[in-house]
Structure formats: structure tokens, C-alpha cells
Structure 1
């Protein structure tokens, strides 16, 4: 496993699959790969999360299969897929297939399997899923991940490699315990002070089950133009000092604009050259 100290900084961009045509999304992904972005994410919802609630929107996993074929080097995945929208064995098979599609020129696949317990009630109501409670959805996630891992072990052909599992969410009693047990990457949108506290809690969960805390890559969200001000650079540096190495910027339509990522890429390159 790569230790936190030796892990390079990576930059992700989440392309919100809303308020855009698919051709705009496809062109933006091409631009991100050409710029040298490390990871492209979408999300797993059925309606816009911001702006016009009835605006255009596309389904996530169909899009990821297209991304797998379209790209050659960038890693990609959902940030995050909702555990309860699909049977976990089927979800494992979908992910394995998308990962194989992304394997090019003899290399391994490039999918990052981001997953969470779900939260957007409209998705559940409109598509006929049982919303339940936060606790019930987290319990379902804890039950599904062993099934997903087991299905990956049974599939023929097998995944191209151990598909990295990213778990999103910051609940300290349940979510971080699930992260300690199953995640290769933990993602949150916490500020620096909150991130520091939650990392201590995550470390405690890892110690309780005998997991090496440093095996988990720490991922966090950042805002557009984050590197334009000294204060934001200071925040990025502070989170990096705590161990965060994957920083993800969200962009959305209308008018998808990938230009803010250039500052983050420059910061990444400067940090990695130290």
C-alpha cells in the first residue's frame, strides 16, 4: 500500500451531469484529460441538485461507461453512487464492466468506485425507492459492501485489479467505521478544523479493527477558483498537512467552465515537486 507520506497530490474535477447537453459534458471531459486532471467524477442522481429543479440531467452509470471508452489515461468514477438505487451484486457487475471498458493498451482499468448511503429524497420518491432513515441507509451500505466485494471475487472475468473503493460522508459513528473497514479513499467536504477532528475519529476506528490508517487516501472537496487567493491556498496547504492528497473541484452547467482547474493543477505540480 502507498503510505500517506509518499502519496502525491491529485486533482479531481466533478462534472455535474445537469444543465448541460451531453456533447458539452463530453467535450469538457476531453479538456480535463488534456489538461492533466487526475480524476473526473460525475454523480449518481436523477434530478439536478442546484439551479432549475426541472433542468436537464443525465443518469450516472451510463455516462461512466461512455467515459470509460472515451478516455485513455484519466481515472474516473461517481462521487458518489447511491447504494440503495441498485441491487449490490448488480452494482458490482456494472462497476466491473465499466472498469474493463476503461482498460486500454494492456493497462489496468481506471474506475474509482465511489459509493455512499444516499440522501436526496426526491430521487427516492420519484423512482420508487424506500427513503427510510439515515441510520437505515447507513446500515444498508454496511450490508452491501461485503456483497459487492464478494461479487467482484466471483465474476468472470474478474476485475482488472482491486477496484479502489471511495466512500463519501462524514458521520462519525457509522460512516467512518464503514470507511475504516472497506474504503481505499475517504471523501468529505469538511473544513480544515472539522477534517482534523474526523481524521482522529477515523484513525480510532482503524485501530479498533486492526486496519492501517495510512492505507486510506484522504479526499476532500474544494471550491472554484480556490487557488486564486492566499487564504484558499493556505486552506489547501493545511488540509494537505493533515494528510489530504485528493482535492476535487466541482463544475456545473449551464456553461461548463473547466478553466478554474488550471490553478489547482499548478498548485498540485508545485507541491509534488517539493
Structure 2
């Protein structure tokens, strides 16, 4: 029995998030430019997106470019933005074929004009697709997101649009970039690093974390299926006892 056949389709994460790490190290190990690592990383994106659609995971979020990534060398940032544009153009057929809706979160206004335009064009073309929502976290940082949320809610309190007593989790959720997404159930990070790196800090409050040594360009659907099988063998109690969960 192959790995995919072992997966319980009734116990899949509703929202899977992935920190795609290791493109640069993959290239370095092979004596190649970092740009080659990023280009090969797009192949892994395609395989994982298609695999998630095939097994019916409704929400997939990929950490594509963080707020901190703007501090990388200028040439690398320019390459990543060009790669974003070319990938969006190439993958529109894949998204349409698989009935996948493209979404994006982050400070998108910080993107170069061409990347911003191409991103919104693909989002508009796929907005009616309903098999899966693929979210790209671009120019995204969770601390920036939370700061933005606090400012927006504070402004509403100041203008008597909401009282302090009305602020609860749902109000906060409605001001996050991810307001239309459920909380994350499973977070995967590749490359062996074991940290969150300012990604979806609010949304992963009860997510299961899975770290793998595999570098992102080498990540295949079988690696994904291994992570899902590991996830399905965990007890998710959300602060309750195992006896309460079983009841």
C-alpha cells in the first residue's frame, strides 16, 4: 500500500501551512547559484499544490516572502519578484485545471508594481474556483499583521465604532489578513530549522508542528503524505483531557 492510500481522508487538516525553507542551501550544496535553488523550489510548489488538491485539503497557505526577506541582497530580491511574476503566469493553467482559487496575504502594497498587478490578475481569474484556496504569504510578517490589527481596532474604538468591551477573538480575527481563512491545523517547515519565523503566530495557536530535514526543492508529495500520516497519529486535545475528546 502506498503512502497516499494509508491516509485517512476523514482526518485531514482543513488548513495546512508550509514554511518553504532551504532553496539557498540546496543550491549551495550543489555548487549552484541561489537563484537556481529558488527556481527549483517552484517545482516543489506545483507538486505540493496539486497533491493537496487531489486529496481534498481545502486550504493551503505557503510562506513565499516575508517582511524580513526585503533585507536580503537587492539582486536576490529582484530575482524573487521576477520569479513570482513568471510563476504566476505559468501556473494560471494549473490553478484553473485543478479548480484552485489563488489568495494572498501580507503587505501587498510593498510589492513591485508588476508583481502586484500580475498577482491580482491571477486572483481575479481564479476567484470563482472552489476546490481549494491556495494562499501565498507575500511581504508577510505576523508581528506587522498584529500591529496593523491593533491600530485598526484602536481607530474604531477612538471613533466609537466599537467599545473596548466588545473586543474578543472574533473581532481580532476579522481584522487579520487571514480573516477569510480557518485557523491552521498543521504547520510544516522544511530544511531542518525548527522555528516559526514570524509566520501566522495568532493562527497557529493550536496547530500541530512538523519539521523535516528535507530541503524545499527536494520536497515531494510523498514527504507531504508522511507529514499527514504523522499528523493523523497525534492527539489534538485543544486544552481538554483525552477522556473529554473521546466522549
* TM-score normalized with structure 1 length: 0.41
Larger radius of gyration: 2
TM-score (norm 2): 0.44
